[in-house]
Each structure stands twice: as structure tokens, then as C-alpha cells.
Chains A and B, each alone.
Chain A
């Protein structure tokens, strides 16, 4: 059984009298431990799809099944649990809270998940150490480089040991070298810890190089799904 199944997923916006399809009849599935890239141009519906997979948005038709349970029919409490323990999200603009230090940003999901208070510091330090940012723990996001900020964001996404990482153009704001580092990190977590990675990108080449499966989106529709054998 697939870890994630997307069945006839459609999402529409209304603009005046016109109905605009952000997503139209999306169908695909993702196995546990897979590295999946969703590729498409701007406005093709990649981020909308990712938000639906992460339980951030539920106003759609069809189904997004995680272990057989439809996210679109979950209660707020169940969705909150899903976002806390099942998925970890990484964004293009890092989305770190600027008034909290790196370690405090990593501790934030631990607060929401009722992680024992005395172990929060240890867990956050461990994650930052694994990211090579132990010495930057007490720095504010404005004092970090793009790569460092994204690594803090990854550490934060991994805080509650999720099964899935949803990355929304994680390298969009980074230079080539740093992008490579971030992609390598995601690959490492995917291989070593069997974490499923779903990455949204418009870089088709990178997607084909690193992922097991590439889903090509255009105007809200899947136009091609490629299984990459040479990973």
C-alpha cells in the first residue's frame, strides 16, 4: 500500500464568474522512502498541491490519502497532528521567525508537540549539530547566510521526526553551490533515515537527477510522471 495516494484531486478558485482550476484531476501515489519531485512552471499548481499534501489546505475535491486516511476529511485536531508528527515543511524563503534565535526556531515545533521541556534543548542542539550549525545556535536568522537559514529550517522540519519532508522550492533562494548542499542533505535524510521527500522545484534537471519519481505539472494538470531508474 502506498504511503500517500492522491485521487482525482481538484482545486478551484473563483475569480468573478470564472472558475479557475488550480489543480485538475490529479492522480499519483508515493511509496514510503521515495524521493518525489513535482516540477512545473510558475502558476502550474505545484505549491497548491504541496499545501494539500501537508494538510495546510483542505478546500479541494477528491482525496489525499495518507496511510489510507483522507486528509481532506480530517478534523482540525487530526490535521494538526499530521502537520506536527507526519510531515515537516521546508520553504523557499526559509520562513524562520526573525525574532527567535536558530535554536529557538528549532524548538518551536517541539513546543507544539508537547516534547518534554528538559529534552527540548538537547534535541534542538542535536539537530543543529547534525546540520553543522552548532556554533550558530544563538544567532538570529538575519545573522545567518541563506544556506545556514535553510539548514535551520530543515532542522526545524525534522524536529518531531516526521516520515515525510515537504520541500517547497528549497533551493529557490540559494546559489548553485549551496543548493547542491541542501539537495545533498535531503538525499542523505531520504537514504539514511528512509524519510519520504516530496520536493517542488522548477529545475527539471535537478529533479531528474535526485528523485525516484518526477511529476510534471502544467496548468494544474499532470502531464507526465517519470520514474527515474538511475538514482
Chain B
């Protein structure tokens, strides 16, 4: 018996029970669809978050410092650690050495100064941050839509983060704040406009050594006026240094005078100049896999290193759990649909016992008869699986585009509709069957003897 004959016989058998075939196929489709949509949903979510995190320098960035990061729970132990270990100062030669490593893409000092920003008559507290020109090739500065990134380390300009503008009540596209002071301002009027950066510096004249109880700090404002060159959009996944603030070329930022509180504490603790020129360095490696090597080497050199990339394994574990839970839901749906197929096939075998007998009397072997049934199951499974995979793809695409909360809900609704339809279809049949059985039973029961 040829395979083509078996396929044709199986196909004809399925064709003659179209409704049952279609319903079984839909059962498989719902099972496979749920599984594929659950798995793709889980993987989509984890990949989306992972890619957002890695784009935002979370898994490729590390911070190097001479100081302890103070993650230790006890402040005493932290102080002990600092005093016990040998401090390696962060200098320009440290930056040079790191830049020479093949794994490192960018190194720059984390220079952050607190300031008051005044722009278009509005003011807000924000940190000004030194970001080198080289960062123009990396997220989020590689995708500045309003204005542009600076091209020189000493250019007298800034790149504003959209968050800072919004905090000032200035919006460029649409106002998403209920504050009455919020204004819509075209990007053209922002780009090229002057911005005032007010920082605090020591005021020698106010230092009064005789009446030291005077409750006025010996500080004064220093104002720097720069030009807005671009507006950058950052998001919640952005690494600390890129999350919010005003970004300046390195030299420009260095020129802005500002008291350094860290240095004040260093003076108090007698550590002035001990930690070198910079408080910390930001290092971006080319790939996540290179992170650990650079980190280990920096630690071996005596630096303190912090990287959220170390936590990637924990993230992946959480994503794996999420994937597993979603896959389990899908597998349960798939198992149910497999039961559906098995039930349909058993019913088909039961109904077609006579036909099986006829086929065997005509010379078919048991294996040939089995093959016909296997092909029927395979056809239903294949067609249902194909529809299911397509539905899964469509559902997961729809859920990501149309903001459907969960494609599982959609598929559950579909499966319930099918179940109700199935019951409606089966009920008249069951009723007829029960009626027939009842009639047969009534015929068998002898009439009761007359009591007369």
C-alpha cells in the first residue's frame, strides 16, 4: 500500500466528518496557539527588557572608583575597609590604561555637579554631567531627534534631557502634565537658546572667623551661560549617569566652578588628594561578555568596581521563571488539546470498527489500518498546529501592538466559545442517544402484573 494511498484514504476519512475534524483541529490550534503565544510573549518581554537594558548601558557599563561604594551594611566596617586597603588614585593615566584595553569602548570621568538651571524664565534643580564627544556614537546620544550632539570637548553648549525640560514645565510635543504653568514650546525655540547654569562656590568675603556663629554659609552663586544644542530622550532603563540631567562636553563641565562636597569630606578626614583627580570613572565595554574580565582586572589593580551587569544572571533567572510559567500554561492547554485528539481518534476507531473489519477482510494488515489512523491524527495535528502557530504569532503581535493586556485572555475567550459551541452541537446528539436507550429499556421491561 502506497503512502499516497494512505494519505488519500486518511484525507477522505477526515473530509467525511468535516465538523468533527474542524473542531478537533481548532482544539489543537488553541493548544498550540496558547503555547506559542505564551512562549513568544515571555521571550518577547524578557528580550525587550534585556535589549532595553543593554541599549541603555546597564549590562555593558561599569563604574570604577578609588572609594568604597558603601554597600556594606555597617558604616564602621566600610570605614575600616577604606582605611585598611591601599587606595589607588584615579588619574588621567588610569583613563589612558583603560582606553588601551580591546574590550573597552569608552572611558570617561563621572563629573557631576549640582546646579540650578534657569531657562526661559523657569528654573529647576538638576545635575550637570560631563559626557565626552565619543558618547555621541552610543545610546541615548546616537539618536537625538531635536537638535544635535556636540562635536568638541570645549564647545560652550549643553544637551538637555527631556525630563529636565518637563520638570520645568516645558513640553515639545504635547503637554502631559496637569500643572497650569506647563507650556508647549516648539523645539526650534529651545535649540540655540541660552541657558543659565547657577552653581555654588565659596565666597571668601563671607568667611568671618570672629563671629563664626553667624548662620550664613560662606557661599555665593556663579552663573555660566551656555547654548542648548540638543534635547535627548532618556527612559527609566537608562543607566544612572544618563538617566536625567544636563549633559556638557567634558572640558566645558570642568570649567564650571562648583564646590565639591566629596573633597570637603576628604579634607575633614585628612584624605585630600588621596583618591586622585577623579571621584569615579564610567567605563563602557563593547559586549556584556567582556564586562567580567574588565571588572576583574580593575579590581586586581586595586579599584572598587560596581556594575549592574553582574546582576544579569539574576535577571535571566527571573525571565527564565517567567518563561517557564507562561510555557507551563501553554503546555497545559496543549495537553488538553492532545486529550481532545486522542478522544476524537478513539471515538473514530470505535465508530469505525466495522470499517476496520471490512478493510482487514479485503487484505489490509493491522499496520496499514493503524497507519491510516496515524495519518489522520498527523493531518489534524499538523493543520491545527500550523493554524495555532499562526494564531499565536498574530495574538502576540496584536497584544504588543494593540496593547491587549494578555493574549492568554484572548485565547481563553476563544477556547470557551468553542467549548460552548461544542456542547450545543453535542447536546441534540446526546439527547437522541438517551431517548433511543430509554426506548430500548422500556421495550425490555416487562409490563407489571395486573393486581386485579
Contacts and interface: CB of A to CB of B under 8 A. Distances in A.
Q: Do A and B come from one complex?
A: yes
B363 A83 contact: yes
Contact of B363 (A84, A95, A97, A100): A84
A81 B361 contact: no
Do most interface residues of chain B lie in helix, strand or loop, or is the interface mixed? helix
Contacts of B359: 108, 112
A156 interface: yes
A218 B74 CA distance: 104
B1 A89 contact: no
Nearest to A156: B362
B365 A114 contact: no
A13 to B, nearest CB: 19
Contacts of B362: 83-84, 89, 108-109, 112, 156
B365 A77 contact: yes
Contacts of B175: none
Most chain A CB neighbours (cut-off 10 Å) among B2, B355, B360, B363 = B363
Contacts of A97: 355, 358
A54 B362 CA distance: 10
A67 B318 CA distance: 74
A135 interface: no
A134 interface: no
Interface string A55-78: 010000000000000000000110
Interface residues of A, number: 23
Interface in B151-172: none
B354 interface: yes
A50 to B, nearest CB: 11
A189 B366 CA distance: 30
B112 to A, nearest CB: 81
Contacts of A80: 363-365
Nearest to B367: A76
B1 A111 contact: yes
A28 interface: no
B157 to A, nearest CB: 82
A76 B363 contact: no
B343 to A, nearest CB: 21
Interface string B11-30: 01000100000000000000
B289 to A, nearest CB: 59
B5 interface: yes
B361 A76 contact: no
Contacts of A95: 354, 357-358, 361
B367 to A, nearest CB: 8
B304 interface: no
Interface in A81-105: 81, 83-85, 89, 95, 97, 99-100
A108 B362 CA distance: 8
A83 B360 contact: yes
B166 to A, nearest CB: 71
A113 B362 CA distance: 9
Given A95-B354, A95-B358, A99-B16, A111 B365 contact: no
A160 interface: yes
Nearest to B352: A97
Given A111-B9, A114-B1, A160 B363 contact: yes
Nearest to A51: B361
Nearest to B358: A95
Nearest to B17: A99
Contact of A76 (B5, B357, B358, B365): B365
B363 to A, nearest CB: 3
A189 B74 CA distance: 107
A112 B358 contact: no
Contacts of A111: 1, 5, 9
Contacts of B1: 111-112, 114
Contacts of B2: 114, 117
24 contacts: A56-B360, A76-B365, A76-B366, A77-B365, A80-B365, A81-B363, A83-B362, A83-B363, A89-B361, A89-B362, A97-B358, A100-B12, A108-B358, A108-B359, A109-B363, A111-B5, A111-B9, A112-B362, A112-B364, A112-B368, A113-B363, A114-B2, A117-B4, A160-B363
